[in-house]
Amino acid sequence: MSEQTASSATAATPNVSGSPVPAIELRNITKTFGEVIANQGINLSVYRGEILSILGENGSGKTTLMNMISGIYFPDSGHIFIDGEEVLIRSPKDAFRYKIGMIHQHFKLIDVFTATENIVLGLNDGRYDLPAYEERVREICGRYGFVLDPKKKIYDMSVSEKQTVEIIKVLYRGADILILDEPTAVLTPQETDRLFDVLRRMRDDGKAIIIITHKLHEVMALSDKVAVLCKGRYIGTVVTKETNEAKLTEMMVGEKVDLNIHRSEPKNPVPRLIVKGLNCKNEDGIAVLKNISFTAQSGEILGIAGIAGSGQRELLESIAGLQRLESGEITYMNPSTEKEENLRNKSPRQIRELGVRLSFVPEDRLGMGLVGNMGIIDNMMLRSYESGRGFFLNRTAPASLADQIISDLQVVTPNAKTPVRRLSGGNVQKVLVGREIASAPTVLMVAYPVRGLDINSSFTIYRLLNEQKEKGVSIIFVGEDLDVLIELCDRILVLSSGSISGIVDPRVTPEGMTLKEQIGLLMTKKVDETAADTAADSSEKPAVADSAAVQTEITPASENGGKEAPNDGNQES
């Protein structure tokens, strides 16, 4: 896939030197929050017809910098130039006037309105001519290759469609400098590719595009230039073609980092958790888990892949005792007593005490498992506060655990009592995962543990998981980054709208396609109830063969730039 993107990048030669003045230029921008220096002496320039990636670890000040361009913050010092003229951007309104459009990580859309209504919201041209607006939206879609029904309501939309609406919203307002803040964090690999195609088309149309990300392969695939930030400082800008992932990482982290994830062979794996025929419905009565059966073994990492919302959360919560099940069995092989335990008739607390631990990192990183306004000590206590006898809390043990986690995992925090919401995302996740690991689990379920994390922190988490694996813990790892799943896991279970569409061995490359493509196809594959049985119970072979067939059908279409069309059909049917 990366080859493809590289070739298309060469086809449309970036306008690195074509335009004499940059569309937007920052000189010596500094911004502090209290004592924290978010940005210091940042210099950046983007020309029209160019895509600039801003690369940096968590807390390196990427978002702050972009917020200054889009008028949300005002810099403490420094200068901003648009088309060579110095400007002051004091409010988002000013930013609009300079044709700067920012697409935030979190969408700001009104659910009950249609796409068009959201797009024109706040634009006052004195009349309300919806058909005309819709026409204009369609025109923009056609021009850049967006797929969007202008009449569709937001609540009916997928995350990727909502993002499309956000992008069209700024285009509609005539933005020609676009800033996208981690646009791919919420997208599947296929959706990401589609977004990149659109962005390239916009670049060729003469727009200046800034994209914030910390995913290296995306930087390499998409951008013309890369600006690297490290701890609020500006490190430098390089031309993408003249660099590589290792060099960029070094710039970003400040030292050489080994980008390979170590994977050891599982040592005498024995079944630890046997799940059979799990069915589960959500509050609206819609089946979210359909006939799920698998076995998790000790000393191995079982990956779970799937498009967001395919039942990952429900599956883990079922095992943790937090979901009401329609049917199915969950058997836990207790390694200390060698007895079989039925988890279905146990409370979440009892399941936890057996050593089955769940650490789920939701989109907002805090919502489940941690309390934002509490310090690390009090958050440690969430798991243990009941243990002491009597009416009073005992903070000594949690305090020493907090200190241990802070030093072992290098959590950056002023002290153990600082509210965790003040920590950066990476540190929050270290606290969350660290607490679960510290409880010496026998089954460790982690969902999105590296969500939004930078390279260094991610690798710390992988290392921690591998350590647990070698101790014989059975790990269930729900991830969104397929590259990581493939490198880290011993087996990958693929979920597709609540069913298991296949279990893949990541050490074996299938014939005729890459492993990633195979998993990507399984993720969108429609599984009928009976097929799910065979796929899950017997082996992964039928699934592989099946998806290979689909792949051959798709390949020609991909050349026309519409490679997602067949998959789309799949999803909808």
Partner 1 sequence: MTETKNHKPIREPLFHLAKRDNLPRHKALLIRLAAILVGMLIVCLFGLLIVGWDPFRIISTIFDGTFGTPNRRWDLFEKTAILLCISLAVTPAFRMRFWNIGAEGQTLIACLASVTCMLKIGDKVPNPVLLLIMVTASIIAGAVWAIIPAVFKAFWNTNETLFTLMMNYIATQITAYYVYIWSVPKGSGHIGIINANTKAGWLVSIGDYPYLLNILIVIVMTIVSYIYLNHCKHGYEISVVGESEKTARYIGINVKVVILRTMAISGAICGLAGFLIVAGADHTIIAGSVGGQGFTAIMVSWLAKFNPIAMAFFAFLIAFLGKGAKEITTLTGLDSSFADIVTGFVIFCIIGCEFFINFTIKFRKKEALPGAEAAKAEPVSENTEEQKDAVPETEEKNEEAIPDNDGKEGSEQ
- In 3D space, the residue among 442, 433, 347, 417 whose CA is nearest the CA of residue 386 turns out to be 347
User: What distance in Å separates the CA atoms of residue 240 and residue 51, rounded to the nearest whole number?
Assistant: 10
Q: Is 427 in the site for partner 1 (CB under 8 A)?
A: yes
Least distance between partner 1 and beta carbon 271 (Å)? 26
Which region, judged by CB under 8 A, interacts with partner 1, from 2-10, 268-276, 421-429, 531-539? 421-429
The residue from 23, 26, 38, 500 that contacts partner 1 (CB under 8 A) is: 38
Q: Is 449 in the site for partner 1 (CB under 8 A)?
A: no
Q: Is 569 in the site for partner 1 (CB under 8 A)?
A: no
CB closer to partner 1 out of 350 and 552: 350
Matching residue, tokens 């285009």: 171
DSSP string spanning 232-266? TEEEEEEEGGG--HHHHHHHHHSS----PPP-PPP
Give the pair of three-digit tokens for residue 233: 């400082």
Residue 2 CA neighbour count, 13 Å, CB half = 13
Q: Is 81 in the site for partner 1 (CB under 8 A)?
A: yes
Q: Is 155 in the site for partner 1 (CB under 8 A)?
A: no
Site string for partner 1, 94-123 (x = CB under 8 A): x--x------xxx-----------------
Q: Considering only residues 43-72, where is the footprint of partner 1 by CB under 8 A?
A: 58-59, 61, 63-64, 67, 71-72
- In 3D space, the residue among 530, 517, 525, 519 whose CA is nearest the CA of residue 571 turns out to be 525
Least distance between partner 1 and beta carbon 567 (Å)? 32
User: What distance in Å separates the CA atoms of residue 77 and residue 466, rounded to the nearest whole number?
Assistant: 45
The residue from 392, 407, 511, 528 that contacts partner 1 (CB under 8 A) is: 392
Cα angle, residue 330 at apex, residues 328 and 335 outer, rounded to 5°: 165
Site string for partner 1, 191-220 (x = CB under 8 A): ------------------------------
Q: Is 32 in the site for partner 1 (CB under 8 A)?
A: yes
CB closer to partner 1 out of 154 and 423: 423
- In 3D space, the residue among 525, 521, 527 whose CA is nearest the CA of residue 551 turns out to be 521
Q: Is 396 in the site for partner 1 (CB under 8 A)?
A: no
The residue from 424, 429, 442, 567 that contacts partner 1 (CB under 8 A) is: 424
Q: Would you give the distance in Å from CA 224 to the centre of its chain?
A: 23
Q: Is 349 in the site for partner 1 (CB under 8 A)?
A: yes
Q: Is 40 in the site for partner 1 (CB under 8 A)?
A: yes
- In 3D space, the residue among 379, 381, 383, 376 whose CA is nearest the CA of residue 395 turns out to be 381
What angle, rounded to 10 degrees, do the helices at 189-204 and 130-144 form? 90
- In 3D space, the residue among 346, 51, 36, 416 whose CA is nearest the CA of residue 198 turns out to be 51
Site string for partner 1, 232-251 (x = CB under 8 A): x-------------------
Q: Is 538 in the site for partner 1 (CB under 8 A)?
A: no
Q: Is 366 in the site for partner 1 (CB under 8 A)?
A: yes
Least distance between partner 1 and beta carbon 388 (Å)? 8
DSSP string spanning 252-307? HHSS----PPP-PPPSS--EEEEEEEEEEE-TTS-EEEEEEEEEEETT-EEEEE-S
How many binding residues for partner 1 (CB under 8 A)? 77
CB closer to partner 1 out of 453 and 535: 453
User: What distance in Å separates the CA atoms of residue 195 and residue 103, rounded to the nearest whole number?
Assistant: 13
Residue 82 CA neighbour count, 13 Å, CB half = 16
Q: Considering only residues 304-323, where is the footprint of partner 1 by CB under 8 A?
A: 322
CB closer to partner 1 out of 137 and 175: 175
222 secondary structure, DSSP code: H
CB closer to partner 1 out of 76 and 483: 76
User: What distance in Å separates the CA atoms of residue 199 and residue 540, rounded to the nearest whole number?
Assistant: 37
The residue from 19, 198, 385, 548 that contacts partner 1 (CB under 8 A) is: 385
Q: Is 26 in the site for partner 1 (CB under 8 A)?
A: no
Q: Considering only residues 322-341, where is the footprint of partner 1 by CB under 8 A?
A: 322
Least distance between partner 1 and beta carbon 392 (Å)? 6
